[in-house]
Structures are given as structure tokens and as C-alpha cells.
């Protein structure tokens, strides 16, 4: 098994850490309060290559491996989980899906714009009545000659108002079940695309989440991804990688809270000594360090499997399930270690605690991750170990 990180991977990690501290940290409390998308910072991230990290250089991307990508996401998430989800959706769901399953013409039209951050993308699967049960799509795409007519509502769409292109999953033929589902590339300025109001969320408040309504939007056949009926498989394959990204986001949130807790515990004195010297606090930190490191191993392992061309569905779900629980548990502990200071915005840990919750929900709830893992076990994946030898 490979333990060493390459010089390039370390450099990417360093660059992401530096960018997050320099560009994302200064206004973060204000952006969170005002639900403000970091538009200027996203532009810089595009220029630095953080929005199309795994995309081939032929299409304007960084041509990096998944491990470099998750390490960068971890660093961004330590500081700003809102920016991290924008980055994750653009890289994992939009760019990756388009590069792997789009045709040459579709890649030519959109990929370099997305990889360089000139455009941001959105992935539109969830609906008011189809969240976990993703095959129950109500949005329809009815074929009319050389076009499809798209009608329906998508919910909880990350990058809802900032995206220029949507990947929309819709039902073309209900009788065929999941085999009647297709995925389409839909420009946000197409006639009939309506962006609903912004959601006022508990966490990740400076990422914009909207419903999007498609009112008889005409989409050319050339915008369909893959063969007729490929849409559900496309969504599942793309989400399997997306889940590694969200696992990295959860890991970063937990690690960010831990770093703040260690610094505070060294500085804050009670009963005549720094609180880190009190066993009650030291033991909390010991548990945090252990579980965060375990989460990191799962996240990096899933990324390495993907890079090695092995199946990573189960490993990605395990990483997301565990890292999101660790993020939730230990951001609560970080607030506790900070005492009253942890409850106010200035100390950052309350925001990380609010941000952590969504990692147990989006890109498949923790219950869905258990389902994916359990189904993999039923298929015999335990007998066929996922570890790289
Ligand atoms: N790769 C390839 N194919 C896959 C697959 C995968 N990872 N997972 C499933 N499939 C295929 C199955 O093989 C099956 O095909 P066949 O019938 O040809 O064998 C087909 O898809 C249907 O699979 P299931 O019978 O397992 O379908 P199901 O109805 O039981 O649902 C599910 C499976 C895993 C629960 C799925 O519905 C699911 O993942 N739900 C959660 C959806 C989700 O994650 N939503 C997140 C929204 S996106 C988001 O949050 C983005 C954001 O903005 C942050």
C-alpha cells in the first residue's frame, strides 16, 4: 500500500491551505451571516486550478489525481465549508461527469469553461418528492423530434443561482423505470429556466441553494449525456465519486474544528493551568485526533482506489458515512472545549458545527450510504477486499 505523498500532492495541499487562510478566512463570518457567495474568491480559485483539478489539461484542467483533489478540499473545508461544496460539486459532479460520459462536442462546448471557473455548474437530481429515492423522478423530458421538452422542479440545488450550466436528470419514459431516465446539459439562460428563491440554511450559508423550475424548456438531443436511458447510471456513477468529495469536506470540517480546539486549549487557562492539561479536555482531544485520522485514512483510501481504477462505490460510501459522523460529533466537542466562546461567531467553531450537519444529508444521506455499503456486502465485496495490495 502506498503511504507516501508525492511532492506535487504536498504542494497542492500547501497551496490550498494558503489560499484558504489568505482569501477565504478574512470575510467568512460576514459571508455566512449575509449568505453571500464568494464570487471573487471563486474567480481566483478558477485561475489557480481548484475548480477543475482532475480535468485533463487538454480541457483546461489540472490533470491531477483524486488524492490531490481531496487533500485540497480538506484544506479549503477546514476554513470554509461553503466554498468547499461549491468546489466539490463543480469538480466531482459536473466536470467529472461531463469528462467521463459527455461526447467530444459537449466537452468542447463546456468543459474548459467549467474547469477554469469561467462557469460554475450545478447537478440537478433531487426533487420535492425524489430525494433518497432517486429513481422516482417527476421531472419529465419528452422527446419532440430533435429536441426534448423539460418540465419539472428540482430542489436543494447547490450553485442554484451562480451556475451557468445544469446537469439535469429527468424521466423520459416512466414505463421503463430507471432505464427511462436521461441526463441533460442545460444552459441556465435557456428560455423557461426559472431559479427559485434562495434557501435560508442552518449551515454552508455562503453557498447558494435554490429550487430550479424547468417550464417546458426546449433542450436539443445533442445535449443528452450518453445513450437513451443512461441518465440514472450516469447519476449513480457520478455520485459515487461525489461522495468522496463530500467525505473530504466532512474531514476538513472536523480537522478545522480540532485545530481550533487544540489552539484554544493551549491558550485558555482554568484552575491555574492551560485547559489542555486537564484530563477532561485532553481526552476529548485524544478522541478527536484518533477519529479524525481514521476518517482521513478512509477518505484517502477511497481516493486511491479511484486513482487505481478499482471500484470505489463501497469505499466512498464508507468514507462519507464515517467522516460525516466524525465531523458532527467533533464539531460539537470543539464548541464544548471553547465553552461560552464556542457559542459565538468570532471563534468559528459554531459555524463549523452548523456546517457539519449537511454532510450527513447531501449526496446521499447516512442511511443511503449504509444501504450502498450493505448492498456491496451482499454482492460479496467483503470476500473481495477493497484494499490495494
Ligand atoms: N454505478 C453504476 N450503476 C449503479 C450504481 C453505481 N454506483 N448504483 C446503482 N446502479 C444501477 C443498478 O445496477 C441498477 O441497474 P440495473 O437494474 O441495470 O442493475 C440501477 O442503477 C438501479 O439501482 P437500484 O436498484 O439499486 O436503485 P434503487 O432505487 O434501489 O436506488 C440508491 C439506489 C442507492 C438508493 C439511489 O437511489 C441513491 O443513491 N439515492 C440517493 C440519491 C442521492 O445521493 N442524492 C443526492 C443528490 S445530489 C446532491 O446532493 C448534490 C449537491 O448539490 C450537493
Catalytic-role residue among 74, 75, 99, 363: 363
Distance 260 CA to ligand 1 centre (A): 37
First to last CA, the chain: 6
Span 184-201, pLDDT tens digits: 999 999 999 999 999 999
Distance 233 CA to ligand 1 centre (A): 7
Q: How far apart are CA 187 and CA 254, in angstroms?
A: 36
Closest CA to 114 of 63, 156, 73, 61: 61
What is the reported pLDDT for 384?
A: 47
Q: How far apart are CA 122 and CA 186, in angstroms?
A: 10
CB 83 within 8 A of CB 91: no
Average model confidence (pLDDT) for the chain?
96
CB 221 within 8 A of CB 147: yes
Superfamily of domain 122-231: Butyryl-CoA Dehydrogenase, subunit A, domain 2 (2.40.110.10)
Q: How far apart are CA 386 and CA 389, in angstroms?
A: 9
Per-residue pLDDT band at 1 (split at 50, 70, 90)? very low
CATH 1.10.3720.10 matches 7-120: no
**Would you tell me how many other CB atoms lie within 10 Å of the CB of residue 42?**
20
Residue whose C-alpha cell is 489542555? 276
Q: Is 259 annotated in the active site?
A: no
Q: How far apart are CA 56 and CA 323, in angstroms?
A: 28
Query: How would you classify the pairing of strands 209-220 and 147-158?
Result: antiparallel
Question: Probe ligand 1: pick from 89, 125, 134, max atoms within 8 Å of CB?
Answer: 134
Span 161-187, pLDDT tens digits: 999 999 999 999 999 999 999 999 999
Domain boundaries, the chain: 7-120, 122-231, 238-378
Per-residue pLDDT band at 2 (split at 50, 70, 90)? low
Q: Is 70 exceeded by the pLDDT of residue 59?
A: yes
Query: How would you classify the pairing of strands 165-171 and 121-124?
Result: parallel
What is the reported pLDDT for 373?
A: 97
Give the fold, CATH level 3, of 238-378: Butyryl-CoA Dehydrogenase, subunit A; domain 3 (1.20.140)
238-378 and 122-231 share a CATH fold: no
Amino acid at each position: 500500500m502506498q503511504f507516501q505523498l508525492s511532492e506535487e500532492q504536498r504542494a497542492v495541499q500547501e497551496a490550498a491551505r494558503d489560499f484558504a487562510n489568505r482569501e477565504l478566512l478574512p470575510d467568512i463570518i460576514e459571508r455566512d451571516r449575509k449568505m453571500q457567495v464568494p464570487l471573487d474568491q471563486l474567480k481566483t480559485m478558477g485561475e489557480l486550478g481548484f475548480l477543475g483539478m482532475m480535468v485533463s489539461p487538454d480541457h483546461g484542467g489540472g490533470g491531477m489525481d483524486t488524492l490531490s483533489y481531496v487533500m485540497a478540499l480538506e484544506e479549503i473545508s477546514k476554513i470554509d465549508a461553503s466554498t468547499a461544496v461549491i468546489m466539490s460539486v463543480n469538480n466531482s459532479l459536473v466536470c467529472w461527469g461531463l469528462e467521463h460520459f459527455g461526447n467530444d462536442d459537449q466537452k468542447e462546448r463546456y468543459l474548459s469553461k467549467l474547469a477554469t471557473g469561467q462557469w460554475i455548474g450545478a447537478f440537478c437530481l433531487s426533487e420535492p418528492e425524489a430525494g433518497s429515492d432517486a429513481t422516482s423522478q417527476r421531472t419529465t423530458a419528452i422527446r419532440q423530434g430533435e429536441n426534448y421538452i423539460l418540465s419539472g422542479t428540482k430542489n436543494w440545488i447547490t450553485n442554484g443561482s451562480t451556475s451557468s450550466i445544469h446537469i439535469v436528470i429527468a424521466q423520459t419514459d416512466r414505463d421503463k423505470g430507471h432505464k427511462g431516465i436521461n441526463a441533460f446539459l442545460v444552459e441556465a439562460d435557456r428560455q423557461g429556466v426559472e431559479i427559485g428563491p434562495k434557501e435560508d440554511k442552518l449551515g454552508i450559508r455562503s453557498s447558494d441553494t435554490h429550487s430550479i423550475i424547468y417550464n417546458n424548456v426546449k433542450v436539443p438531443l445533442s445535449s443528452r449525456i450518453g445513450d437513451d436511458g443512461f441518465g440514472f447510471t450516469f447519476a449513480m456513477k457520478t455520485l459515487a465519486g461525489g461522495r468522496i468529495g463530500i467525505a473530504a469536506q466532512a474531514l476538513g470540517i472536523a480537522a478545522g474544528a480540532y485545530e481550533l480546539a487544540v489552539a484554544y486549549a493551549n491558550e485558555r487557562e482554568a484552575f491555574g493551568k492551560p485547559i489542555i492539561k486537564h484530563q477532561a479536555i485532553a481526552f476529548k482531544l485524544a478522541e478527536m485526533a484518533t477519529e479524525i485520522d481514521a476518517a482521513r485514512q478512509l477518505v484517502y483510501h477511497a481516493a486511491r482506489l479511484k486513482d487505481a481504477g478499482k471500484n470505489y462505490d463501497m469505499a466512498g460510501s464508507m468514507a462519507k458515512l464515517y467522516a460525516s459522523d466524525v465531523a458532527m460529533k467533533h464539531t460539537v466537542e470543539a464548541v464544548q472545549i471553547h465553552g461560552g466562546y464556542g457559542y459565538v461567531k468570532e471563534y468559528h467553531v459554531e459555524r463549523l458545527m452548523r456546517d457539519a450537519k449537511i454532510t450527513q444529508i447531501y449526496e446521499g444521506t447516512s442511511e443511503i450510504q449504509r444501504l450502498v455499503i450493505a448492498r456491496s456486502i451482499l454482492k460479496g465485496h467483503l470476500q473481495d477486499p477493497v484494499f490495494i495490495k
